[in-house]
Amino acid sequence: MTPYTGPWTSAEAAHLLRRCTFGASFQDIQNAVGAGMLGAVNQLFLASSIDEPLAYDVGEQIVPLGQTWVSAVYPTNTSANQQTEGARMKSLAAWLAKNLNQESLSLTEKMLFFWQNHFGVSTSGDARAMYQYLQLLRQHALGNVKQLVKDVTIDPCMLLFLNGNTNTVFSPNENYGRELLELFTVGKGAQLAAGDYSTFTEQDVAAAAKICTGYIVQGVRSDTQTQVSSQFTPVLHDTSTKTLSYHFANQTISAAGALEYANYIDVVFNQADTALYICRKLYRYFVNHDITSWVEQNIIADMAQTFVANNFEISPVLTELFTSAHFFDISVRGAIIRSPLETLCAMLNTSNTTANFDLQSTYQIYLSMYGLADQMGQGYAAPPSVAGWTSYYQAPAFYRLWINSTYIKKRFDVANLLTSNFYNVNGNVFKIKVVDFLNGLSAPASAPQVIDDLCLVLFPKDIPAADKLAIKSILTNSLPDFEWTLQYNEYLADPTNPVFYNPVELRMQAVLNVMFKMPQFHVC
């Protein structure tokens, strides 16, 4: 893959951060410019840590509010057990939104979401199990994908979701075995014959099911076990020798007990299809939906080669992609329609707006943010099917599936909500910190520069000068530019005085409200 050797300006830095994070501020972009392309890309791989989700809802009946529930038991009483699960799921949902909003400038959250979409798991009936599963994905998000697939195979949440926990030698269940091949590794190709999908056959599905037998899940909503766990039970395992199809050169997988699944996954990853399939998904996620034959031969092939050469570590692949000429090519800028979570976070993260109130209010606000994204079509960790969200795979529309008249209205509703002064929880108003946003720009007193900077942060490509003038007239109330300068300087001289602060805030809210409803904001 040809490396990028072009200019490294704020446009390129903004493109990198826009694709690799859930939203970067003006200052973040400037810092990335200063770091140079390699520096900026490398910084994205720095790991970030997060805190555990906290109980905040009165449905929680084991741990005190304000403490984490991830290793707590459940109540014995059925109704209390149910209420506690509800409270923990609310806490988890809020926590997921909070992590996106409060991310450090790192690839971690985007890659975590990629894997969460890739494996397509939704709730398992025990919030602790979902938490542990997501922590597993986070652990390997920028690491070894083969190890990730192995660990996911025996993760309690996945075992519950795809029926691995009832897949036994006495009654094999093909659910996981099929999706492991079709969705997680080699992918599905054209149908060559009945039950033959170019990359695997029904024989492989049956074999995979048998290979994966024997793992059971324990401790779901248990009143004694503090963790949900999976356990290999030899008597439930199929100890026959499994023969794979001709696509796998009819290799055999002999009985190997608890680690047999891992041996099998080694074989699956040796298939060239696996690296190609995963790299295509990454390309669609980070670059563009359209995999032309040129892209397939020049980009995907190189990505896959790097992937295999690095024993399936993902970071070298991503580094190569994000430092490539193709990634920065003007033809792929602004090619992706932002997903609901990306849209919501772009509204908040670009101004470093976070909710930092008391526990109750903060979690309630984040739960609402989770809900808003859900209503726009994307509830985190609750994809519509195990294949993930259709926008990431369904030809020919791909990302256009995020946009219909209902979803557009929701996006506009969210824009209205976050640029108003009316959304509050317990009296704590949550809104975009528009004045902070303004203050962080290069020249807040200059109306034209404010618009230029906002366009850099919010839009993927430059817009016509006439459009910028139209937006500027909203900022200035159609007054000459110097009036804005006067107003802003008055505010600067007495920043806590609402008489000077409020008008500035109202104008910025009006500008952002309009920009969030422009089509250019919804692409990245």
Question: What's the CA gap between 155 and 138, in Å, rounded?
Answer: 14
For 270-290, give the secondary structure using H, E and C: HCHHHHHHHHHHHHHHHCCCC
Question: What's the CA gap between 188 and 511, in Å, rounded?
Answer: 47
Q: Whole-number minimum distance, CB 522 to another protein, in Å? A: 5
- β-strands 229-232, 242-243 pairing: unpaired
Contact residue for another protein among 136, 265, 487, 516 (CB under 8 A): 487
Contact residue for another protein among 259, 330, 443, 492 (CB under 8 A): 330
With contact defined as beta carbons under 8 Å apart, do 464 and 19 qualify? Answer: no
Q: Whole-number minimum distance, CB 465 to another protein, in Å? A: 10
Show contacts with another protein in window 21-60 (CB under 8 A). 59
Contact residue for another protein among 3, 266, 311, 412 (CB under 8 A): 412
Contact residue for another protein among 65, 216, 308, 417 (CB under 8 A): 417
- CB nearer to another protein: pick between 443 and 486: 486
3, β-bridge pairs: 324
Q: Whole-number minimum distance, CB 488 to another protein, in Å? A: 10
With contact defined as beta carbons under 8 Å apart, do 119 and 159 qualify? Answer: no
Q: Whole-number minimum distance, CB 76 to another protein, in Å? A: 17
User: Angle of helix 498-516 relative to helix 465-475, nearest 10 degrees?
Assistant: 150
Residue 171 in the binding site for another protein (CB under 8 A): no
Residue 346 in the binding site for another protein (CB under 8 A): no
Contact residue for another protein among 87, 181, 282, 317 (CB under 8 A): 87
Contact residue for another protein among 13, 20, 337, 512 (CB under 8 A): 337
Which ranges of 141-244 would DSSP assign to H, the alpha helix? 145-153, 156-161, 175-179, 202-211
Nearest to 342 by CA among 381, 312, 314, 378: 378
With contact defined as beta carbons under 8 Å apart, do 456 and 14 qualify? Answer: yes
Q: Is residue 401 helix, strand or coil?
A: helix
Q: Is residue 98 helix, strand or coil?
A: helix
Question: What's the CA gap between 327 and 299, in Å, rounded?
Answer: 10
Residue 65 in the binding site for another protein (CB under 8 A): no
Going by the DSSP 8-state scheme, the letter that residue 393 receives in this structure is T
Show contacts with another protein in window 357-396 (CB under 8 A). 367-368, 370-372, 374-375, 379, 381-385
Residue 80 in the binding site for another protein (CB under 8 A): no
Contact residue for another protein among 76, 218, 424, 489 (CB under 8 A): 424
Kindly report the backbone phi and psi dihedral angles of residue 196, in degrees, each rounded to the nearest multiple of 5, phi listed first: -120, 120
Stretch that binds another protein, among 11-19, 235-243, 332-340, 441-449 (CB under 8 A): 332-340
- CB nearer to another protein: pick between 93 and 142: 93
Token pair recorded at residue 404? 């219909």
Stretch that binds another protein, among 4-12, 141-149, 201-209, 402-410 (CB under 8 A): 402-410
- CB nearer to another protein: pick between 75 and 195: 75
Going from the C-alpha of 441 to that of each of 114, 233, 367, the distances in angstroms are: 31, 60, 30
Nearest to 211 by CA among 181, 238, 229: 238
Residue 495 CB coordination number (10 Å): 12
Contact residue for another protein among 20, 37, 92, 512 (CB under 8 A): 92
Show contacts with another protein in window 106-165 (CB under 8 A). 122-123, 160-163
Question: What's the CA gap between 208 and 191, in Å, rounded?
Answer: 19
Binding mask 209-248 for another protein (x = CB under 8 A): ----------------------------------------
Contact residue for another protein among 400, 489, 492, 494 (CB under 8 A): 400
Q: How many amino acids of this chain bind another protein (CB under 8 A)? A: 93
- CB nearer to another protein: pick between 247 and 289: 289
Question: What's the CA gap between 177 and 209, in Å, rounded?
Answer: 5
- 192-203 burial code (b ≥16 CB/10 A, e <16): eeeebbebbbeb
Q: Is residue 235 helix, strand or coil?
A: helix
Binding mask 429-468 for another protein (x = CB under 8 A): -------------------------------xx-xx-xx-
Nearest to 342 by CA among 367, 365, 373: 373
Contact residue for another protein among 15, 18, 90, 281 (CB under 8 A): 90
CA atoms within 13 A on the CB side of 180: 36
Tell me the one-letter amino acid at 323: T
Show contacts with another protein in window 493-522 (CB under 8 A). 498-500, 502-504, 506-507, 510, 514, 517-520, 522
Residue 331 in the binding site for another protein (CB under 8 A): yes
Residue 297 in the binding site for another protein (CB under 8 A): no
Residue 344 in the binding site for another protein (CB under 8 A): no
Q: Whole-number minimum distance, CB 460 to another protein, in Å? A: 7
Contact residue for another protein among 408, 446, 449, 485 (CB under 8 A): 408
Q: Whole-number minimum distance, CB 484 to another protein, in Å? A: 8
Residue 481 in the binding site for another protein (CB under 8 A): no
